[in-house]
């Protein structure tokens, strides 16, 4: 498909470009239009076939609803029902402008727009070109941001060209978007009302009209597993450039201290005041204490990082106050909620038998981490006279105890590893005790200001991953692992293979680990630890 660019020369006039865009929209086509927040990908909100083209062009998940753009606040009742007084009050104050209000929808809004929900998101943009196009089209326009799904929102026609060339028939270029981040989204369809997405209209401003407004959990946190998003858009990976971004917590000094200690970053995302101090390629995102300069720059900066080919980026953390909340909401998602230099934390290391977890843990210890060795704890909890040993004797027979009261491991193994049920019984007795002590030790290390590394062959089976900020699986090819355990424990090939097979359960679970650390040629273990920004 050929994509035409219509350049607006005088936004105050009803130009031929506006008419051409409106004609395409009336004909059921998709057109990218400028707004005061970000560029939108518009189609007739009453035309399901046209709306479907938006989803196709963006690659957007079908269950993520669209905002309906109107020409004036008076039109709200044409698409929404049971509109509360607070909605009119909000719109009187903030519309036209960067505010989206979620209301109960009327039947004229098709399920394609609302993604099957009973609500509709309504916004009246203040950009004169957006307004002129909606008026000329004569219908409400459904429009998400005009980026490919998951990527940063476009704040200039060039950004839309990058993402949408060949995918839509036309882009209207109305110059750079003023706000730079998408509208504030507030739902009045819930009680109390909820701020779903912060923008340049702040929570404090909304509270003048909505005193009981709550800020949704998902604004600053990843969606908890199994929870449904109040706003479907919040569950997706979002605003992400190709580069991996890490937010370094703390002030300017803490940031540059961290950058010096950890060479992993190939570019920095900083405030203007930081640029002179950068010894690596840097991209700026506005001024430290002026969040409105940050919203204006953020998405452009994220796109610039990809243009300069950055792979690993360390970013300054913006303030969360006022408009800053909107900046943090976007940057945290762009960074996939990866933070560095925060309070020390717990790292979980697992790995297949023979993969060489100990080697990796020894390197982490040399780099300053405190290792919590669960194999050692497993021996401690069955020390003579321990409650766990007494429980095992009750479960598997008194003869698993040697005359001196110590555990006879061979006898226990013979009893426990005859069936899955008896093996599970053994785990049910020992795992909770091991987990409890491992966490006590890890937390003590963290309290003392150190990063704790829990070295646990059964990290996932025992459920320890839940307590770890990051998990790492150490890997090596099967022949290497078999050769290593044969050499270490003097086993035959068949015995070694049996041991590897016994760990299949954990092996499958541990695929979920955040990182895989390759402990085989060319090794480079320290470099991998650094690239994962573990410490
Ligand atoms: O500034 C903006 O709002 C831009 C411009 C183009 O107007 N539009 C925009 O649309 O950002 P989009 O689709 O990228 O983001 C809309 C967000 C999504 O997170 C979506 O899930 C949420 O609003 N949303 C839309 N309708 C909703 C509804 N009925 N209930 C809850 N959330 C809704
Ligand atoms: Mg979007």
Decide: helix, strand or coil at residue 501: helix
Atom of ligand 1 nearest to the CA of 182: 1
Instruction: Identify the three-state secondary structure at position 47.
Output: coil
Is residue 238 situated within a structural domain? Answer: no
Question: 260, exposed or middle or buried, with CB in 10 Å at 0-12, 13-18, 19+?
Answer: exposed
The CATH number covering residue 148 comes to 3.90.870.10
- How long is the chain? 535
Domain contains 145? yes
Report which ligand 1 atom has the smallest distance to the Cα of 185.
23
Q: Do 210 and 267 have their domain in common? A: no
Same domain, 336 and 350: no
Distances from the Cα of 471 to the Cα of 291, 510, 513, angstroms: 34, 9, 5
Name the pairing type of β-strands 170-173 and 339-340.
unpaired
Which of 144, 195, 298 for mutating ligand 1's site (highest number of atoms within 8 Å of CB)? Answer: 144
Domain termination site, one of 286, 307, 340? 340
Ligand 1 atom nearest the C-alpha of 189 is 30
In Å, what is the CA distance from 292 to each residue of 97, 179, 490? 15, 7, 66
Answer yes or no: are the C-beta atoms of 160 and 169 closer than 8 Å: no
Are the CB atoms for 466 and 346 separated by under 8 Å? no
- Strand order of the β-sheet with 267-270 is 282-284, 267-270, 312-316, 244-248, 339-340
Residue 34 CA to ligand 2 center (angstroms) comes to: 14
* Contact in structure between 246 and 532 (CB atoms under 8 Å): no
Residue 418 lies in a domain: yes
Q: Based on the fold, state whether residues 378 and 316 are members of the same structural domain.
A: no
Contact 434, 381 (CB under 8 A): yes
449 token code pair: 């200001």
Burial class of 425 by CB neighbour count within 10 A (0 to 12, 13 to 18, 19+): middle
Question: Which ligand is nearest to the Cα of residue 115, counting in written order?
Answer: 1
**Do the strands 99-105 and 119-123 form a parallel or antiparallel pair, or are they unpaired?**
antiparallel
- Answer yes or no: is 231 within a domain: no
Q: How far is the CA of 177 from the centre of ligand 1 (A)?
A: 17
Q: For residue 159, is it within any domain?
A: yes
What element of type H or E holds 435? Answer: helix 420-447
Q: Which of 309, 340, 371 is the last residue of a domain?
A: 340
Q: Is 202 in the pocket of ligand 1 (CB under 6 A)?
A: no
Shared domain for 63 and 147, answered yes or no, is yes
The CATH number linked to 482 is 3.40.50.300
CATH number at residue 324: 3.40.50.11030
Buried b (16+ CB within 10 A) or exposed e, 376-409: ebbeebbeeeeebbeebbebbeeebbeeeeebee
| Residue reference for tokens 């109040």 | 230
Which atom of ligand 1 is the closest one to the Cα of 232? 21
CA distance 320 to 84: 30
Closest residue by CA, ligand 1 atom 7: 40
Give the whole-angstrom CA distance, residue 160 versus residue 146.
Answer: 6
Q: Nearest to residue 245, comparing CAs of 299, 308, 327, 313?
A: 313
Gap between the Cα atoms of 459 and 469, Å rounded: 13
235 occurs within a structural domain: no
Regarding whether 54 and 21 lie in a shared domain, the answer is: yes
Cβ atoms of 316 and 283 within 8 Å: the answer is no
CA 145 – ligand 2 centroid, Å: 4
130 lines ligand 1 (CB under 6 A): no
Q: Is the CB of 115 under 6 A from ligand 1?
A: no
Residues 259 and 167 in one domain: no
DSSP codes joined into one string, 438-461: HHHHHHHHHHTT--EEEE-TTTTT
* Number of the ligand closest to the Cα of 153: 2
Least distant ligand from the CA of 199: 1
Q: Which two tokens stand for residue 525?
A: 């273990």
Considering the domain architecture, whether residues 405 and 477 belong to the same structural domain is answered as: yes
Distance between CA atoms of 406 and 411, rounded to whole angstroms?
A: 12
Ligand nearest to the CA of 40: 1
| Closest listed residue to residue 33, CA positions, set 112, 123, 133 | 133
CB atoms within 10 A of CB 296: 21
For ligand 1, whether the C-beta of 199 sits within 6 Å is no
Q: Kind and range of the H or E element at 526?
A: helix 525-531
Do the domain assignments include residue 234?
A: no
pLDDT at 10 (0 to 100): 79
Q: Choose one of 340, 369, 393: the last residue of a domain.
A: 340
- pTM here is 0.74
Same domain, 334 and 385: no
Closest residue by Cα to residue 456 from 441, 476, 478, 477: 441
| One domain for residues 365 and 514 | yes
- Asked if omega into 502 is within 30° of 0 (cis), the reply is no
Same domain flag for 416 and 280: no
H helix or E strand, kind and range, residue 170: strand 170-173
CA gap 13, 6 in Å, rounded: 14
505 in the same domain as 491? yes
Q: Considering the domain boundaries, does residue 232 fall inside one? A: no
**CB of 533 closer than 6 A to ligand 1?**
no
Structurally, how many domains does the chain consist of?
3
Statement to judge: residues 52 and 96 lie in one domain = yes
**Cα 111 to middle of ligand 1, angstroms:** 15
- List, in sequence order, the alpha helices (H) in 165-290: 203-207, 252-261
Q: 295 lies in which domain range?
A: 244-340
Q: What is the pLDDT along the chain (535 residues), one digit of tens a residue?
A: 999 999 998 767 778 999 999 999 999 999 999 999 999 999 999 999 999 999 999 999 999 999 999 999 999 999 999 999 999 999 999 999 999 999 999 999 999 999 999 999 999 999 999 999 999 999 999 999 999 998 999 999 999 999 999 999 999 999 999 999 999 999 999 999 999 999 999 999 999 999 999 999 889 988 766 677 788 777 666 788 899 999 998 899 889 988 887 788 999 999 999 999 999 999 999 999 999 999 999 999 999 999 999 999 999 999 999 999 999 999 999 998 888 877 678 999 999 999 999 999 999 999 889 999 999 999 999 999 999 999 999 999 999 999 999 999 999 999 998 888 999 999 999 999 999 999 999 999 998 889 999 999 999 999 999 999 889 999 999 999 999 999 999 999 999 998 888 888 899 999 999 889 999 999 999 888 877 878 7
């Amino acid at each position: 498909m050929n994509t035409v660019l219509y350049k607006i020369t005088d936004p105050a006039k009803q130009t031929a470009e506006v008419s051409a865009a409106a004609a395409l929209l009336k004909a059921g086509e998709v057109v990218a239009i400028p707004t005061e927040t970000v560029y939108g990908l518009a189609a007739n909100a009453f035309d399901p076939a046209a709306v479907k083209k938006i989803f196709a062009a963006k690659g957007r998940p079908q269950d993520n609803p669209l905002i309906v753009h109107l020409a004036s606040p008076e039109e709200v009742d044409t698409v929404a029902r049971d509109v509360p007084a607070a909605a009119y009050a909000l719109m009187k104050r903030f519309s036209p402008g960067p505010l989206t209000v979620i209301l109960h929808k009327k039947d004229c809004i098709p399920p394609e727009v609302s993604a099957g929900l009973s609500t509709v998101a309504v916004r009246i943009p203040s950009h004169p070109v957006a307004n002129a196009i909606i008026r000329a089209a004569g219908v409400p326009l459904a429009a998400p941001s005009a980026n490919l799904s998951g990527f940063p929102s476009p704040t200039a026609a060039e950004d839309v060209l990058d993402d949408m060339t060949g995918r839509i028939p036309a882009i209207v270029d109305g110059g750079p978007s003023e706000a730079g981040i998408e509208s504030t989204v507030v739902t009045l369809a819930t009680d109390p009302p909820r701020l779903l997405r912060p923008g340049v209209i702040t929570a404090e401003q909304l509270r003048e009209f909505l005193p009981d407004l709550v800020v949704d959990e998902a604004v600053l946190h990843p969606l908890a597993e199994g929870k449904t998003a109040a706003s479907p858009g919040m569950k997706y990976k979002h605003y992400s450039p190709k580069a991996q971004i890490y937010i370094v917590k703390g002030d300017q000094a803490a940031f540059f201290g961290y950058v010096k200690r950890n060479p992993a970053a190939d570019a920095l995302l900083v405030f203007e005041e930081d640029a002179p101090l950068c010894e690596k390629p840097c991209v700026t995102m506005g001024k430290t204490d002026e969040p409105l300069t940050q919203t204006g720059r953020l998405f452009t900066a994220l796109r610039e990082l990809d243009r300069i080919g950055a792979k690993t980026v360390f970013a300054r953390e913006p303030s969360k106050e006022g408009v800053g909340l909107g900046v943090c909401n976007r940057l945290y998602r762009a960074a996939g909620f990866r933070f560095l230099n925060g309070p020390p934390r717990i790292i979980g290391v697992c790995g297949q038998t023979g993969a060489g977890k100990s080697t990796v843990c020894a390197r982490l210890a040399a780099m300053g981490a405190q290792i919590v060795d669960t194999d050692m704890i497993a021996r401690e909890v069955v020390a003579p006279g321990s409650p766990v040993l007494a429980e095992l004797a009750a479960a598997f027979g008194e003869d698993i105890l040697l005359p001196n009261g110590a555990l006879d491991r061979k006898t226990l193994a013979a009893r426990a590893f005859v069936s899955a049920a008896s093996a599970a019984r053994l785990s049910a007795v020992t795992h909770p005790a091991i987990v409890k002590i491992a966490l006590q030790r890890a937390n003590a290390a963290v309290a003392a200001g150190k990063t704790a590394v829990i070295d646990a062959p059964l990290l996932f089976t025992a459920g320890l991953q839940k307590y770890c900020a990051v998990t790492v699986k150490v890997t090596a090819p099967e022949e290497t692992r078999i050769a290593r355990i044969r050499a270490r424990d003097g086993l035959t090939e068949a015995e070694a293979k049996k041991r590897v097979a016994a760990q299949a359960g954990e092996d499958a679970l541990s695929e979920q680990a955040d990182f895989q650390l390759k402990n085989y040629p060319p090794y480079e273990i320290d470099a991998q630890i650094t690239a994962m920004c573990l410490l």
